[in-house]
Every structure is written in C-alpha cells, then in structure tokens.
Structure 1
C-alpha cells in the first residue's frame, strides 16, 4: 500500500505576503492541521492556472509526482470536487516542490510537522499575535512574526498578476494526460492573448485538463466480424518495458500508440494495420466489452500485442468507494487473465482520474498505471484528417498517444504510422 495512503492535502487558498506567495492547506493525518506551505512561485503560478477558488469546489493536491522524460520536468495533479463530481488536472512542479511533497508523505503524526521548515501554522488575520495552542504541537518555532494578508489570488494586485503571467508563459508548455474530462488547454506558444484575457476577467487559465473518453461504441449495434489477416504474430514487435509505477511519457526516440474502450468491432482492424507495418500497439479494454467480445482479446494477445485493463464499467474511479474501486479493477483483471492465461500488468484509469486509493489498489495487484501526454481528442472529432493533423503537429518523440477504437482511427492509422516512422521513431508496445 502506498505510504501516502490516508494522507490528504486539501488546498484552501493561494495567499500572499508582501514578499512571498504561499499555499494555505489543510493536512489530514490522524488529525488535521491548517498550515501555510511556502514553496516556489513558479509552482504556485502553475497551480493558480488549474484552480479557481469559487467557494463551491474543493481542491486536493496529489501526493504522487511523475517525471516527464519528454519535458524533463516533474508533474503533479490536483483534484477538484463538488459533491459526487470530481475532475483531475495536471501541472508542472519544481524539484523543490517535489522534494517538499516527498517530505510530507513521510510524516506520520502532527507533532512531526515542526521538522518541515517550509510549513507554518496558519495564522488568523484577526489576531496575528495569537499563540499556537499546545494541541498543534511545537510549530510556534516556525510561525511568522508579522501579520499576513490572506487574499485569494483574484484580488492580487496587477503587479503580482503580471509576475504570475510571466511565469505562466515560461511554464505552461506541458501537455497533460487528459487526464480525464474535456477542457481547453492554454499554452504559452499560441494562446498568450487568451491567457491575458482570462487574467483580465479574474479567471484562471487551465494548463492541462482531463479529456473524457466516449462510451458510444459500446452502445452501437452488434459489431461486424473482422478477421485478422493471419494468425501468425509478427516476427518482432518493438516493445518497451515501463520502469515507473505511473507513466505519462516515454524516453525520447520512442512513441506508443494506445487504444482505449475496446474490444469493439474495430479492434481487429486496428491490429491488422499495426501488423502490416510491424509496429507495436497497446489496447486498454473495458470489462463489459471483454464479456461481449472475448475472442477479440484472445486474437490480439495471441498476435503479440499488449493488453491492459480500463476498468470494468468505465466509471470515474475517484467518485467510487474503496470497495467499488477494488471491484472495478479486480473483475476486469480476472476476465482478461482468464482469456490470455497471463498476468495482467497494465492499467489505465478511465478519464485518467485516480486517487490514493486507486494507487494503493494498483500496487497491490502489481499493475503499472499508464496515462498519456498526447491526446488528439479523436473521440470528439471522429475525423481521420483532424486526428492525423494533430499527430503531424506535435513533438511525438517520447509520447504516449491516446486513441480510441473507431473507424476514424482505423482510417488515420496508416498515415500516422508513416509520419512517426519518417521521424525515425520506434513505435512500441508497452510492457
């Protein structure tokens, strides 16, 4: 089980002193403590792009970071919740922020918090000289002596907002997994005007938002029978073994084509295109579709392509209880392993949404969580030309590309493969 299981960092506000920015958080261990986390302005600016404090939604910072080999930076996620609804966003963070997060993960009791020099007991503006109670431990050695002004980011002066904007332009070049639910992504290279407008309107630009996968294929009519060109696996399918527990990207020189929401009537057609070009591919199957088309799973696995799980019912896992999440992961694994007679290693959470419970369950099962850093939103456009155009205009080296099983993807796939190969990239199956 993850060492961070049971720890929750709730983000309450972004606050400023005359000289310093900080994150006001509520850290829950066995008991809870409201703290001020002083970290670097660059990471805070990135968080500001993903959070808008409207008094309705709640925000929680993930305790897990991942290294993006392609961008050479750490990324972390923040989950926004309202009642039973939740969305997960990703943002770039600095090495110091990542190290601070790792230090928080090692804390087991509130009385150990005083050992972390970047955390301060949150002070009330009404009584800045109030002594910290004994119940809060010995954090008084770390508290601020001067009065702090707790203002939401929206009320920060134009000078401070300009500073954040400069940092945004230098930092928002990260393409997130979508993770997750459909939202526009603001980047520094092509949409600076949009950022300026959003800041002027006291709205926060979103740096990377999750993209929801469609389940329309599962509701379509009975799939036609597609036959593989032959039952002989290619002599050699390029493969790459993932080293990280959670992967958003690959080393440079490699690219992974991944296909979600099957098996469907398009599964074998996709496999045949991959076979013809002797390239790798990874399929993430939904359990309810596996029950309908077990033969497709069997054929794809027998031809040497990687198979992973995409939950049992394509539910947003973060909205489920621990027991429900466990059922979503174990039921689909049991189904696929019965068909392939092989331990299932790869797992992709629907919408890219996961939490500490999902991490713990995945680790218990020995799974590797595969997300993505390139998303043509093919489920939305269903247009082969737009899918191809997207791939042709990205830095594909080191990418995990998110695709869904559809006729548009089948039609675009040959040209996508040719384009990637023309760049000298190795298209791999993930292991």
Structure 2
C-alpha cells in the first residue's frame, strides 16, 4: 500500500509568517496537526488563484502531481468541497513544491514532521491559541486562524502584486478584445482585472513555466496519430493522467452521453473528417446502446464517465469500484473492445480512484480548456471561448447538447484555420 494512502492535506488558509507567505494546512493520517508550510511564492500565488477562504468551502490538496509535457512543468490539484459537492482545480507548481509534497507523502508518523524544515507549528499567541491537542501539537483556534487568514478578495497588496506579476508574465489566455491594459491604469485596478480574468478562466489558467530537472521527455511523448477508421485521426496517450496533448493537436471531448444529440455530434465530426472522444455515463448507455455501437463503429473513441455520474471521492472503495466496472462492462459488451479511457465526473478523484483505474488498465483523461457549455447553453458563447484560447495542445471539455451541435461546425473551422489536427484520444 502506498505511503500516501489515508493521508489528507486540508488547506485552511494562506497566511503571512514573519514576512513570508505560507500555507496553513491540517495534515491528517493516524493523527492530525495544523502546520505552516513555507514553500515558494509562485506556487502559493497559483494556489491563491483557485481558492477563496470564505468559510463556506473546504479545500484539500492532492498528494500527487503530474508532468505537463506541453507547458514543461508540474501541475498540482486542489479539490474544493461544499457539503456533498466537489470541484477539482489545477495549478502550476514548482519542482520545489513537488519535492516537498513527496517528502510529506513519505512520512509515516506525525513525529516525522520535525525532520521536514519547510513545515512548522503555527506560532503560539496568548489569548488566541490556547487549545492544545493531547499529543502536544499546537492546534490554533478559529479566532487565531482568522487573524492570519488572507481571503482572495482581501489579500494584501504584496500577495496580489505577486499574483499579478506571475500571471501576466505568462498568461496563456487571449484577452477579449474589449480588455486593455493601459499604462494609466492604477496598480489596484490592474489587480482587479487579473482577478476578474481568473474568475472567468480559472480552468484555462496555467502559470509561468518552471525550469526543471527531470528525465528526458522524449520517451514519454504520445505516438503520432493513426487513422484506425476512415479519415478519423487518433492520438495515443502515454501518461496515466492527461490534462493536455502535444502542440499542433487538439482534442474535442464530449461528456454525459449517449443522448439524443450523440448522432448529430458524430455526423458533424464525420462530415469534417476530424476526431472526437465520447465519455459515456453507464445509465445512459443502457438507454442508448445503439448510439454507442454506431459511434464506435465509425472510428470515434469511447470512454467511461462512470456508471451514475457520482462524485467519486464521496464514495466508498467498493462503490467506486462498482462505478468503474459496471460502466466498463456495459461499454465493452457493446464495442467488443477493452475500455481504455476514463473521465471522473466533475474531474474529481482521489487515491482510491487512481488505484482502481490503474488496476483496470484505464487512462484518466481530464482537460485544460472548459467553455462551461453546460452552464451557458449558448452557441455563440461556446464558440467565442474556443476562438479566444490558445487551442494548440488542448483537451477541450464539451457536453452533449443542442448548443454544442450548433456551434461544432464553426469550432472545427476555427481550429482548422489555426492549422491544428483534431484527434480522437486513445
């Protein structure tokens, strides 16, 4: 069993500690303790863009990072939860942060924390932090935490300036035409503009690439696309978890089917001789098995989106296993092929989901571009989003709907006008 199994890192706040910024975390496994994590400022700034400590949501840092071949840097993730609903967000992180995370994963007892120089107990403040756990480790009270907490909306000018510098030096999103950064704009106004952009494009944000020393990536590059059926180009994924694909390619992915829109989407893709990847929910597969069969027969990639579209981390180990195996069995019975691709609903997964996916031989396919078409249901807004992103190397998240059917021909034309190859994922 992995050393990280059962460990949880809850992010409580971003705080200032003796002039530097730190992550206040609650580390739990056999025991638990609140700690300050002094890591690099760029990673903290990136985490701040995907978190807001408003007393409503809870945040849990993933113990795992992935290597983004396109951006040439590590990607971490954080899950925001409210009651039984959870959303997973990605952020760019440094090698420094990644190594510290690996060190946390390796410890077996809370006493081992003392050997990690980047972790420390929060400072004791008389009258504010008087509760001490039975194991002698300081556990600051809510009032003490509130005194140090830096909500995103009210963060200090120092942290906001840091976010501003980090993001604007590397922002990979094409600004809408009505947004301009003139020299006359004040620093405060610039910060507000950045925060607004982050709110609108949270899932598309990738911060400044970090120089890293890792193994040669040449061996990990996906194979070139192959045409396994008619003129449909395919691209084989090499990584277990994928957020993106190589430059020059783009993947259109469609969630939540099969539905009454499935065949219309397939026919548009077929007409333009481009690839597409469909992630089907098991309960819908039972309703429309013929759609699954037709899409697969026409050379398009089919993956699982779980059996009932449930939040995987909220389920027991056995329930997660059932979500994966039942959907896979249904799809494999129709296609007569081993199911390879899996996309967790809401992009939410945990260590158990990863372990089960590996056992079943699945590749976890996430995304790095999301027009939130499920929310807008607006053809023009979906198209406008695609036209204003750096689409090369993207996995674009779409859902089966009439708005997507209507926008799809123009989306394909826009991507092809950029010289991109639209592929099915394998």
TM-score using structure 2 length: 0.79
Q: TM-score, normalised by structure 1?
A: 0.78
- How many pairs align? 387
Alpha-carbon displacement from aligned partner over 1:143-199 (angstroms, at most 9, x marks no partner): xxxxx9961114988543443443454378367xxxxxxxxxxx9989984842898
Residue 317 of structure 2 is aligned to residue 319 of structure 1: no
Cα–Cα, structure 1 residues 149 and 392, in superposed 2: closer, same or farther, change >3 Å?
closer
Distance in 2 (CA, whole Å) between partners of 1:386 and 1:331 is 36
Q: Which residue does the alignment assign to 2:33? A: 33
How well do the aligned residues superpose, as a CA RMSD in angstroms?
Answer: 3.6
- Tell me if 1:98 matches 2:105: no
The aligned residue for residue 9 of structure 2 is: 9
Q: Structure 1 residue 307: deviation in Å?
A: 0.4
Evaluate the alpha carbon distance shift between residue 84 and residue 383 of structure 1 in structure 2; reply closer, same or farther with a 3 A threshold: closer
In 2, Cα distance between equivalents of 1:106 and 1:189: 45
Task: State whether structure 2 residue 352 is matched by structure 1 residue 357.
Answer: yes
Pick from 266, 276, 282: which aligns with 1:281? 276
CA distance in 2, matches of 1:188, 1:338: 54
Residues 250, 398 of structure 1: 8 Å contact kept: yes
Shift of 1:272: 2.2
Alpha-carbon offset, residue 208 of structure 1: 5.8
Output the CA distance in 1 between the equivalents of 2:180 and 2:309: 33
Aligned pairs (5 A) from 1:185-334: 193=189, 195-196=191-192, 206=199, 209=202, 234-334=229-329
Partner of 1:173: 171
Cα distance in structure 2, aligned partners of 1:61 and 1:246: 17
Question: Are 1:21 and 1:38, in contact at CA under 8 Å, matched by a contact in 2?
Answer: yes
Between the aligned partners of 2:388 and 2:197, the Cα distance in structure 1 is: 26
Q: How far is 1:121 from its partner?
A: 3.1
Structure 2 residue aligned with 1:120: 120
User: In the alignment, what sits opposite 2:425?
Assistant: 430
Q: CA deviation at 1:429?
A: 0.9
What's the counterpart of residue 82 of structure 1?
82
In 2, the alpha carbon distance for the partners of 1:13 and 1:355 equals 22
SS in 1 for 2:274: coil
Report how far residue 32 of structure 1 moved: 1.9
1:215 match: none
- SS of the equivalent of 1:402 reads strand
CA distance in 2, matches of 1:51, 1:157: 12
Out of 386, 390, 393, the residue aligned to residue 385 of structure 2 is 390
